[in-house]
């Protein structure tokens, strides 16, 4: 039997490859180097009022920023299940119904509308919650400015936050048409458009310094309203992405470069605005006495 299963091994491997070819790769979001370069640019865009260790931590944050995609791993079924919907929100499914401020109010509103929140997606809540996790880490930095464990906590939270802000600025992460125009059954046909878009910041080798140039990020003056405004702005570009569908593989196309540069700069400003917002929020956080570092 052992021999037989050994003989089957290459066939299974071939079949697995074929399944991947037919079904396409899973929707990961921007490729890892795309996330990394957008995160580097967001840190470069920060003003001097942000702490030095943070402004010098761009490389660490860039390395961390692809990690939420690594959490969608079949060997980690509970984490994979929780993590998958954190990367998108298919706005059209809500049919204009407003998004509540908080995660479990959203889950309740989905139940009332007969929607599955995991299918709709939860990226605005991932962005809001990671902004507040970063604010908590910043509050600890205000108390223990030299503590390197606290500094690492800030960089890790900021890397995660960057992932979700960057995904939200990819228009195909905000729509039912995420992988080809959805049909009457609501299913997106996996046309390959999503993978082409995800690859572009990395394939175009966008320069973080260029992306950050001229940006003057200001702290978002609210949290969820600012996130939802970005989500709508991203969703408003879905048609522009489809208008370029036939050109997305052409790295020489000026229209493709313009679209991806615009989305990348939107992601960079949005990420930097939330880093600034987290720093502001942190000034008002009272840490409990039992918290030690």
Window 219 to 278, contacts with Zn ion (CB under 5 A): none
Q: Is 167 in the site for Zn ion (CB under 5 A)?
A: yes
Q: Applying CB under 5 A, which part among 9-17, 164-172, 174-182, 249-257 lies near Zn ion? A: 164-172
Q: Applying CB under 5 A, which part among 63-71, 92-100, 134-142, 225-233 lies near Zn ion? A: 63-71
Task: Please work out the total of residues on this chain that contact Zn ion, with binding judged by CB under 5 A.
Answer: 4
Q: Measured from the CB of residue 140, what is the shortest distance to Zn ion in angstroms?
A: 27
Backbone dihedral region of 216: left (phi > 0), alpha (psi from -120 to 50 degrees) or beta?
Answer: beta
Q: Is 29 in the site for Zn ion (CB under 5 A)?
A: yes
Window 69 to 98, contacts with Zn ion (CB under 5 A): 69, 87
- Give the CA angle between residues 109, 275, 143 to the nearest 5°: 110
Q: Token match 């990020």: residue? A: 217
Q: Measured from the CB of residue 139, what is the shortest distance to Zn ion in angstroms?
A: 27
Nearer to Zn ion, 150 or 161 (CB): 161
Answer for the pair 89, 126: CB distance below 8 angstroms, yes or no.
no
Give exposure, 236-255, as e/b (b: 16+ Cβ within 10 Å): ebbeebbebeeebeeeeeee
Answer for the pair 193, 180: CB distance below 8 angstroms, yes or no.
yes
Nearer to Zn ion, 58 or 121 (CB): 121
Nearer to Zn ion, 28 or 275 (CB): 28
Nearer to Zn ion, 28 or 138 (CB): 28
Nearer to Zn ion, 195 or 282 (CB): 195
Burial class from Cβ neighbours inside 10 Å (0-12, 13-18, 19+) for residue 93 reads: middle
Distance CA 154, CA 134 (A): 6
Q: Is 160 in the site for Zn ion (CB under 5 A)?
A: no
Both tokens of 274, joined, read 């939330």
Q: Is 198 in the site for Zn ion (CB under 5 A)?
A: no
Interface ranges with Zn ion (CB under 5 A) = 29, 69, 87, 167
């Amino acid at each position: 039997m052992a021999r037989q299963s050994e003989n089957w091994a290459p066939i299974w491997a071939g079949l697995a490859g074929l399944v991947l070819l037919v079904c396409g790769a899973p929707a990961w979001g921007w490729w890892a180097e795309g996330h990394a370069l957008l995160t580097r640019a967001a840190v470069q865009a920060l003003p001097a009022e942000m702490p030095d260790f943070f402004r010098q931590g761009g490389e660490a944050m860039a390395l961390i920023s692809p990690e939420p995609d690594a959490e969608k791993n079949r060997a980690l079924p509970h984490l994979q299940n929780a993590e998958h919907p954190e990367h998108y929100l298919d706005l059209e499914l809500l049919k204009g119904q407003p998004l509540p401020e908080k995660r479990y109010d959203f889950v309740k509103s989905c139940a009332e509308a007969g929607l599955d929140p995991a299918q709709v997606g939860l990226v605005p809540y991932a962005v809001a919650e990671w902004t507040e996790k970063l604010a908590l880490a910043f509050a600890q930095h205000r108390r223990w400015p030299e503590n390197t464990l606290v500094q690492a906590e800030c960089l890790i939270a900021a890397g995660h936050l960057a992932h979700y802000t960057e995904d939200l600025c990819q228009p195909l992460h905000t729509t039912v048409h995420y992988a080809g125009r959805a049909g009457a059954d609501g299913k997106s046909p996996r046309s390959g458009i999503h993978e082409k878009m995800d690859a572009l910041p990395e394939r175009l080798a966008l320069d973080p310094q260029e992306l950050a140039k001229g940006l003057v990020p200001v702290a978002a003056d609210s949290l969820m309203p600012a996130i939802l405004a970005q989500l709508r702005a991203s969703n408003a570009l879905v048609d522009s992405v489809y208008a370029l569908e036939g050109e997305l593989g052409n790295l020489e196309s000026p229209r493709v470069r313009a679209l991806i540069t615009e989305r990348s700069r939107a992601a960079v400003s949005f990420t930097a605005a939330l880093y600034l917002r987290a720093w502001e929020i942190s000034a008002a956080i009272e840490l409990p006495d039992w918290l030690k570092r």
